[in-house]
Amino acid sequence: MNDKPREDTNPAAVGHLHIATERPERFTHATPTVDDVGRHAGVSRQTVSNVLNAPHRVRPETIERVRIAINTLGYRANHHARNLRTGTSRAIAYRIPPVAGHLNSVMDTFLHELTEAVEAIGCHILLFASNDLDGEISKYWELSAQSAADGVVFSETERDDRRPGPLLERRMPFVSFGRTWGTQEHSWVDVDGRAGTRLAIDHLLAHGHRRFAWLGPRNPGVVNDEREQGVRSTIAAAGIPAADLHVVSLRDDATADRKAIADLLDGPDAPTAWVSMSDLQALTVLGELEARGIVPGRDAAVIGFDDSPVAAYAGGGLTTIRQPITAVAKTIAQLLSAQFADPNSDPQGVLLEPELIVRRTG
């Protein structure tokens, strides 16, 4: 008869998280509250709270006494109570990009750096998955309604991205990694792709190269456009005819890519300087060069993109264009922080410069 209500409740909890009713079971070490700490230090709740949130209001000796009590009892503020009262969550939502077909490691590095960067502003990352864009957008709505997240970061932007609209409407602070090239203003951080390829080409020009190849994606987007334009404009500025630049459209198929590269190498006026949109495909170029006895770094140059782990590992060190991911993450955290401090602050866009990591291949 006594456990009737529990019996009654359990079926409803199927598929949900359900903690057994006897709470003491789980909390071997009773979790102390502000009251406990206050009692121990001979002060009130609020003074303890002030020590944590507004220490300038409290007399130094009192602070010391409270601090000791906190350490003795091992007190930590309950997140939910605090967040409920203050209406914040100190959480930043991020949709983890789907795994399928991302050949670059930038997003993984970014997530790591972002986690560290938001910790510096007293927040943490709340991850969620979503199959489509609509799911992602409605998730933002939901998180906002549940006050489960104070801010949002999203990546893999596209032209006229649909995400800023709903977020702005909900007045949910957010920063995108990547421009959205839309009409609505919002904060973003991005890497200057044009500057990246310009760095690479300038470097190659300085080493005497005159015949170039740009390996871009099969379906070019805004990102590729900028990078390719950086290649073109730098070459043009050096007085080299546009015909001396070959553009290869890569596929997701190594055999096809390899053949395209081989054809170019075996054709007339083969390029000696190769710049690729990604490290992995640069490795394919290396393979083809070596197969022909052409030594990368001496007879030819190959430059990749992203400085992924393979770049440092393979081919005796691949020269590559590194995106400043740490700086991107830190800047995003700062822009978020600014929006938290003043929800009406003006949106800000920050374009960061990539860096050329010179190794052996170029």
Partner DNA sequence: AGTAGAAATATGATCGTTCAAATGAACGTT
Partner DNA sequence: AACGTTCATTTGAACGATCATATTTCTACT
Contacts (CB under 7 A) with DNA, residues 45-74: 45-50, 52-53, 56-59, 61-62
Q: Select 84 or 237, whichever has its Cβ closest to DNA.
A: 84
DSSP 71-135: HHHT----HHHHHHHHT---EEEEEPPP-TT---SHHHHHHHHHHHHHHHTT-EEEEE--SSHHH
Q: What's the CA gap between 178 and 154, in Å, rounded?
A: 9
Whole-number minimum distance, CB 40 to DNA, in Å? 12
Best CA proximity match to 34, nearest among 26, 45, 19: 45
At closest approach, how far in Å is the CB of 77 from DNA?
4
Residue 254 is a binding residue for a second copy (CB under 8 A):
yes
Least distance from C-beta 53 to DNA, angstroms?
5
Contact 207, 267 (CB under 8 A): no
Contact (CB, 8 A) for 128 and 173:
no
- Closest CB to DNA among residues 33, 249: 33
Contact positions with a second copy (CB under 8 A) in 213-232: none
From the list DNA, a second copy, none, pick the one residue 45 interacts with, judged by a Cβ distance below 5 to 8 Å according to partner type. Answer: DNA
Q: For residue 344, what are its two tokens?
A: 């009406």
Closest C-alpha to 284, from 361, 198, 197: 361
Out of 6, 35, 44, 53, name the contact with a second copy by CB under 8 A.
53
- Using the minimum distance from each CB to a second copy, give the nearer residue, 229 or 249: 249
Among 2, 239, 341, 346, binds a second copy (CB under 8 A): 341
Task: Find the shortest distance in angstroms from Cβ 214 to DNA.
Answer: 54
22-55 in b/e form (b: 16+ CB < 10 A) is eeeeeeeeeebbbebbbbbbebeeebbbbbbeee
CA pair distance 335, 340, nearest whole angstrom? 9
Q: Which is nearer to DNA, 25 or 132 (CB)?
A: 25
**Which of residues 29 and 85 has its CB atom nearest to DNA in the complex?**
85
CB 274 within 8 A of CB 300: yes
- Taken as a whole, the chain contains a residue count of 362
**Which span (71-79, 231-239, 267-275, 348-356) binds a second copy, by CB under 8 A?**
71-79
Q: Which is nearer to a second copy, 44 or 78 (CB)?
A: 78
Where does the chain show beta strands of DSSP type E?
91-95, 124-128, 151-154, 174-177, 188-191, 212-217, 245-250, 273-276, 301-305, 319-322, 349-352, 355-357
Q: Which of 21, 72, 184, 345 binds DNA (CB under 7 A)?
A: 21
Alpha carbons 311 and 360: distance in angstroms, whole number? 11
Q: Which does 133 bind (CB under 5 to 8 A by kind): DNA, a second copy, none?
A: none
Which positions from 85 through 104 interact with DNA, judged by CB under 7 A? 85-87
96, interface contact from a second copy, DNA, none, CB < 5-8 Å by kind = a second copy
Give the residue, chosen from 10, 17, 31, 69, that forms a contact with DNA under the rule CB under 7 A.
31
Task: Pick between residue 16 and residue 298 the one whose CB is nearest to DNA.
Answer: 16
Whose Cβ is closer to DNA: residue 45's or residue 359's? Answer: 45
Question: Which one of DNA, a second copy, none is in contact with 4 (Cβ closer than 5 to 8 A by kind)?
Answer: none
Question: Under the rule (CB under 7 A), what is the footprint of DNA?
Answer: 5, 9, 21, 31, 33-35, 38, 42-50, 52-53, 56-59, 61-62, 75, 77-78, 81-82, 84-87
